[in-house]
Structure 1
Amino acid sequence: MKTMFFLPKRYLLAMAISLASAAALAAAPAPRLKLQSWSQAEQLSINALAFLPGPSTTERLASAREGLFLLDAQGRELTRLKGSFEGVDSRAQGANVLVASLDSTRQQALIVSLDPQNRQWDTPLYLPVRDFPVNGLCLYRDGASNLFVFLVGEEGKGEQWLVGNGERLSDSAQRVRGLPLPPDAKTCQVQDSANQLFVNEERVGWWAYPASSEAETVRVPVAMRAPFGDLRQSAGAMAVLPGGLLGLDPEAAQLHVYQQQGEGWSAKANLPLAGLKEPENLAARLTKSGIEVLLRDDDNGHLYQGEISWKPTPVPLPPVLPSVAAIVQSEPVARQGDAADDPAIWVHPTTPGLSRVLGTNKKQGLLAYDLRGKLLQELPVGRLNNVDVRANFKLGTQTVDLAVASNRDRNSLSLFSIDRTSGELREAGEITTPLKEIYGICLFQPAEGELYAFANGKDGRFVQYRLSAPDGVVKGQLVRQFSVDSQPEGCVADEQRQRLFLGEEDVGVWAVDARAEQPATLSRVIEVGQTLHADVEGMALYQAGGRDYLVISSQGNDSYLVLDAQPPYAVRGAFRVGLNAAAGIDGASETDGLEVTSVNLGGPWSQGMLVVQDGRKRMPEQAQNFKFVPWADVAKALRLP
């Protein structure tokens, strides 16, 4: 797992764009701003303004020492929520509007539903009192209709809270994650469609972060203070639009206009705010002819409205992938950092509800969970990376099921017998390999009485072993070796077609004949590109009723790809494992290993189960774990036949 604060290449790119944009300004028609006083509302001690959501609405929202207000276009009060408030942000909620603000008296953030038609406020939902002063807040609705609020606190403290889903406000707020922010950040805004969170750093500039709760913590600059950008004094309040950002420099009394260009931003205009001494609050929305804005002068409390004769160009966005939710998650592993890696599913031969999910902890050993995610066993045998399971293995005179894992401590295969009645795991031996850095593993069982293990190393080398234990001790006979050009890891064997699928992390997925006596000729299944994003990680097969699907962890964009497991390997779709608001289970991201079964395990698992490793555990933030997803939900999301 990686935590970064900005990317130097992007930073330099943004600097270059900012420095080059001055020449472009002279050549392009310059945006213009016309402001006029908005005098009707000046009898109130307003500190923040916002447009009511909706393309044709004329009402405005305001926070003040006298309450939260719904105002008409002239600033006349329509309704108020009594109290003393600072800051305001909003999102549509069906016919209603959800409004976020800070209660100055209680020193707490709140979300409240407003019925603008009947001019009625509902009971507010308060976030718990924080252990840091909150400077600002903003709302965010993701592609799965989850509603979040970001808190911007002093000394770089930031938090993301889940407060609703769909048109429903939650009964209580749930903390999703902490977020390191600039030490003097005061305000934030989110562009929902782009999943971007914008935060100011007063003496430096404006930053963009991924807003998704499952995203990696990175930031890129939007605009910087001189000499690195066009900002003269300080970065204040912002307003965001699709493809654009408006930012206030309150000390220089300027409004900056920016257009997004790929991953960077270019300055379109620096508009002087004549007559304003300390412009503070800023709100904006698109109109047919430009951008409508609302401003407040902190020097005298006067309010202004106006229009900018320019519209940002929306940037292309990645496709919105369907989201499915885990309904069960395992207990977190007992080690911090990048620890959990690969799951396997052991199916009980007579009572499917007693099946187990095995998982590797590459800082500890092998773990076994029940179908409710409760930890049942832990075997501290070393740094296990990948694991796979097959049934009906002859261990001397006994018939057991066998789990095999790659052991990075000894570059070996660690073997475990599984009692077919109780599901209890026991160590069953070890097979040394010639690999220098063992990594992935998968099993192949072409016929009764046969079992093979494929293991790979980071240098691209694969070894294939025939496993047997006639005298009760598992032995491995090396029967084949082959290689790929770069680092592999995930693999899965298709017994029905005697085929092995293997992943080359930065390249794609290959198929090769799994039989030891056949040549290891690679054939391409899918390349890394727009659909499959490196790293290519875990792989599994879903096989039922003639439906054969290959499921792949597309780690680079936190998604999972499903394609036919037969040529021409048609792509059936991609999806994400998103947040389950009702169950309080976070989504899954940065997934290493995964596994799937088509066996009816009962209840929600009647069409099988998908298990994925979660590389970023949120809500609450804990050590990594595994997420359990009903296959029926995947099939529905992708409209699989």
Structure 2
Amino acid sequence: MRRLLLTLALAACAGGVQADRFVLAKTALELHDDAGRVLARHAIRAKHMDQRSGDGLLAVLQDADSGQIQLWRASAGRMSRAAAWPAPALEVEQLCLYRDPQGLLHVFLLGNEGLSEQWLLDGARALPVQRLATPLAPSACRVRDEEGMLYVAEPGVGLWALSANAERPGRRLLLADAASGEKALNARLAAWLAEHPVAAPQVQPPVVLPTGQTQPVREAGDAADDPAIWVHPSRGPSSLILATDKKRGLAVYGLDGKERQFLPVGRINNVDLRQGLSYGGRKLDLAVATQRDEAGLVLFGISPVGRVTELARLKTSLDDIYGVCVGRNAEGGLDVFPNDKDGRVLQLRLKQQGKTWQAEPVAEVRLASQPEGCVVDEANQGLFIGEEKRGVWRLDLATPGSTPQLVIQAGPGLTPDVEGLAIHPGRGWLVVSSQGSDSYAVYDIRPPFAQRGTFAIATNAALSIDGVSETDGLDLSPANLGGPYADGVLVVQDGHKRLPHGPQNFKLVPWSAVEKAVLTRR
């Protein structure tokens, strides 16, 4: 009875006032109208139940006999079971529903031993999103969809608030009350939700959906970092993604996300490449990555069929090398721009003598704090550098000795850390990773460097590809790579791999979707 009263007391907080509602009786699931009359009834012993409105009236419950998790729908005074899934491995103590900003339905299955699961419910599929640590033996839970927070009552401790967004984990103790029993604590949870209205939601950027992803990197934790796209000279769909695993080396992926090669070259952080460079009368495709243990650079060659080989290790004068980008110089060769955590940015010119490679110093500038992401605007002879806490600087490469200018400041649409940068030359746009807001900002590459728009990368439930958060590096290509990437592709690092939970990876987004999101928002 206590559980039933709590369910009714919190219904308004969960899904709004409804004319009809599900009610869990002792031996049945019932559908009631607003006067309390029973419209429909199904005999079942269920232990836990939560409900949501939106796309009709929905309820998720656990069958007490079989342990199944079941989804029920109600419409026009009737109800039916829409889906059922086998009992989870954990012993479910509570369950509660969450409808995310995309309108996708999730269920939290809270275990009695502090280990819980989050599932995404997509039609007849239940997709595992993540496992998460939750309070022991929770006595009640509720998600307020508008703020994306999961509230859990833990008897003898208090009320906990956890992020319902798997891309942004976090938790905090709202109200410590060790003396409260279960009944009192459950009542306090209901009262707290009623007394603390949800703050006005912030305007969310338009979303685009990824249509591909790479295999996860080899180790858990913060490992994947920065991609660079190599375009096949004659077959766009055979193009490759070179991406850093900053704990182990360089991975090479096809556009299908499968790993083609792995080069165990150590702790490389960022990578960039250029194709068709002129050296010794030959055309070469070269990639450069920063090697943090050696405070130097690793130079790679890429064959016409996409085979990557290490060519050289190059020393630098930096102490704590971090990011890098490259650009074609007036001689048709490669200039390399590595940076240091202390703010220094070098310009090095790559030279070849026989089979020996050298990096000759050309210039050095310094920012006030840590940079990382950068990109060379070859058409306008500029270097854009992301200073993580402040914004984006531009260095005029056509004027030796010039100083960088802060052309884009962190602010609306660009929340520190400022991370990956890439240019779409055809559009004349600069795409910047706004890591602090799990989104991306788009700017003109010419003065006054106006912001064109912002976008986020959300879950593609149909393809079981999770959304993207906390992006470090990114790259884009406007080339026709076939299929969904006929207008180009944007590749981004994903800070949290979900669906299911695992090591980090990289997501692929059709450039056409990015253009539509940016141009529609204007």
TM range (shorter): over 0.9
Quote the offset at 1:235 in angstroms: 5.8
Any stretches of 5+ residues in structure 2 without a counterpart? none
Quote the offset at 1:575 in angstroms: 1.6
Q: 1:78 to 1:360 in 2, by over 3 A?
A: same
Structure 2 contact 227–492 (Cα < 8 Å) conserved: yes
1:554 matches 2:434? yes
User: What code does the residue aligned with 2:379 have?
Assistant: Q
1:485 matches 2:365? no
Which of 174, 182, 189 is equivalent to 2:135? Answer: 182
* Equivalent in the alignment of 1:233: 180
Q: Could you report, residue by residue, the CA deviation over 1:45-79 in whole angstroms, capped at 9, with x for unpaired residues?
A: 95764458886644332112321111234433110
Which of 412, 424, 427 is equivalent to 1:530? Answer: 412
* Equivalent in the alignment of 2:22: 61
Which of 207, 212, 219 is equivalent to 1:323? Answer: 207
User: What code does the residue aligned with 2:272 have?
Assistant: D
Quote the offset at 1:593 in angstroms: 0.5
* Equivalent in the alignment of 1:112: 72
Counterpart-to-counterpart distance in 2, 1:326 and 1:413: 31
Alignment of 1:135-214 (within 5 A): 135-164=93-122, 170-214=123-167
* Equivalent in the alignment of 1:539: 421
1:471 matches 2:354? yes
User: What code does the residue aligned with 1:502 have?
Assistant: I
Q: 1:255 to 1:621 in 2, by over 3 A?
A: closer
1:387 matches 2:271? yes
Alignment of 1:406-421 (within 5 A): 406-420=290-304
Quote the offset at 1:314 in angstroms: 4.1
User: What code does the residue aligned with 1:218 have?
Assistant: G
Secondary structure of residue in 2 paired with 1:592: coil
User: What code does the residue aligned with 1:612 have?
Assistant: V
Q: 1:583 to 1:548 in 2, by over 3 A?
A: same
Counterpart-to-counterpart distance in 1, 2:470 and 2:189: 39
User: What code does the residue aligned with 1:249 have?
Assistant: L
Secondary structure of residue in 1 paired with 2:484: helix
Counterpart-to-counterpart distance in 2, 1:256 and 1:603: 51
Q: 1:458 to 1:133 in 2, by over 3 A?
A: same
* Equivalent in the alignment of 2:36: 75
Q: 1:411 to 1:327 in 2, by over 3 A?
A: same
* Equivalent in the alignment of 2:172: 220
Which of 500, 506, 512 is equivalent to 1:620? Answer: 500
Q: RMSD value over aligned CA atoms?
A: 2.3
Q: Could you report, residue by residue, the CA deviation over 1:296-347 in whole angstroms, capped at 9, with x for unpaired residues?
A: xxxxxxxxxxxxxxx7554233222222111110011122221111000011
* Equivalent in the alignment of 2:49: 88
* Equivalent in the alignment of 1:277: none
1:358 matches 2:242? yes
Secondary structure of residue in 2 paired with 1:122: strand
Structure 1 contact 364–384 (Cα < 8 Å) conserved: yes
Counterpart-to-counterpart distance in 2, 1:453 and 1:80: 71
Secondary structure of residue in 2 paired with 1:469: strand
Secondary structure of residue in 1 paired with 2:448: coil
Structure 1 contact 452–464 (Cα < 8 Å) conserved: yes
Counterpart-to-counterpart distance in 2, 1:55 and 1:141: 12
Counterpart-to-counterpart distance in 2, 1:617 and 1:70: 38
Q: Could you report, residue by residue, the CA deviation over 1:146-168 in whole angstroms, capped at 9, with x for unpaired residues?
A: 1111111111111110003xxxx
Counterpart-to-counterpart distance in 2, 1:353 and 1:207: 48
1:592 matches 2:472? yes
* Equivalent in the alignment of 2:396: 513
Q: 1:257 to 1:112 in 2, by over 3 A?
A: closer
Counterpart-to-counterpart distance in 1, 2:3 and 2:466: 40
Counterpart-to-counterpart distance in 2, 1:235 and 1:523: 60
Bigger drift between 70-79 and 328-337 goes to 70-79
1:458 matches 2:458? no
Structure 2 contact 299–313 (Cα < 8 Å) conserved: yes
* Equivalent in the alignment of 1:125: 83
Alignment of 1:2-81 (within 5 A): 49-50=7-8, 51=11, 57-81=18-42
Structure 1 contact 48–63 (Cα < 8 Å) conserved: no
User: What code does the residue aligned with 1:349 have?
Assistant: P
Counterpart-to-counterpart distance in 2, 1:606 and 1:447: 30
Q: 1:192 to 1:56 in 2, by over 3 A?
A: closer
* Equivalent in the alignment of 1:281: none
Structure 2 contact 155–185 (Cα < 8 Å) conserved: no
Quote the offset at 1:114 in angstroms: 1.5
Structure 1 contact 366–384 (Cα < 8 Å) conserved: yes
Q: 1:57 to 1:625 in 2, by over 3 A?
A: closer
Quote the offset at 1:539 in angstroms: 0.7
Secondary structure of residue in 2 paired with 1:208: strand
User: What code does the residue aligned with 2:119 have?
Assistant: W
Which of 305, 308, 312 is equivalent to 1:429? Answer: 312
Counterpart-to-counterpart distance in 2, 1:81 and 1:528: 56
Secondary structure of residue in 1 paired with 2:60: strand
Quote the offset at 1:89 in angstroms: 1.7
User: What code does the residue aligned with 2:258 have?
Assistant: K
Q: Could you report, residue by residue, the CA deviation over 1:419-445 in whole angstroms, capped at 9, with x for unpaired residues?
A: 12x111111112100111100000011
Q: 1:154 to 1:398 in 2, by over 3 A?
A: same
Counterpart-to-counterpart distance in 2, 1:599 and 1:477: 32
Structure 2 contact 418–434 (Cα < 8 Å) conserved: yes
TM-score, normalising length from structure 2? 0.94
User: How many residues are paired up?
Assistant: 518
Counterpart-to-counterpart distance in 1, 2:81 and 2:157: 39
* Equivalent in the alignment of 2:62: 102
Quote the offset at 1:570 in angstroms: 1.4
Bigger drift between 617-626 and 119-128 goes to 119-128
Counterpart-to-counterpart distance in 1, 2:507 and 2:4: 46
Q: Could you report, residue by residue, the CA deviation over 1:97-119 in whole angstroms, capped at 9, with x for unpaired residues?
A: 1111121111232222111x1x2
* Equivalent in the alignment of 1:12: none
Which of 289, 296, 300 is equivalent to 1:405? Answer: 289
Counterpart-to-counterpart distance in 1, 2:15 and 2:161: 25
User: What code does the residue aligned with 1:220 have?
Assistant: R
Counterpart-to-counterpart distance in 1, 2:129 and 2:290: 33
Which of 604, 614, 620 is equivalent to 2:484? Answer: 604
Quote the offset at 1:234 in angstroms: 3.5
Quote the offset at 1:452 in angstroms: 0.4
User: What code does the residue aligned with 1:524 have?
Assistant: L
Counterpart-to-counterpart distance in 1, 2:189 and 2:162: 22
Any stretches of 5+ residues in structure 1 without a counterpart? 1-41, 165-169, 227-231, 237-247, 260-290, 292-310
Counterpart-to-counterpart distance in 2, 1:596 and 1:173: 33
* Equivalent in the alignment of 1:274: none
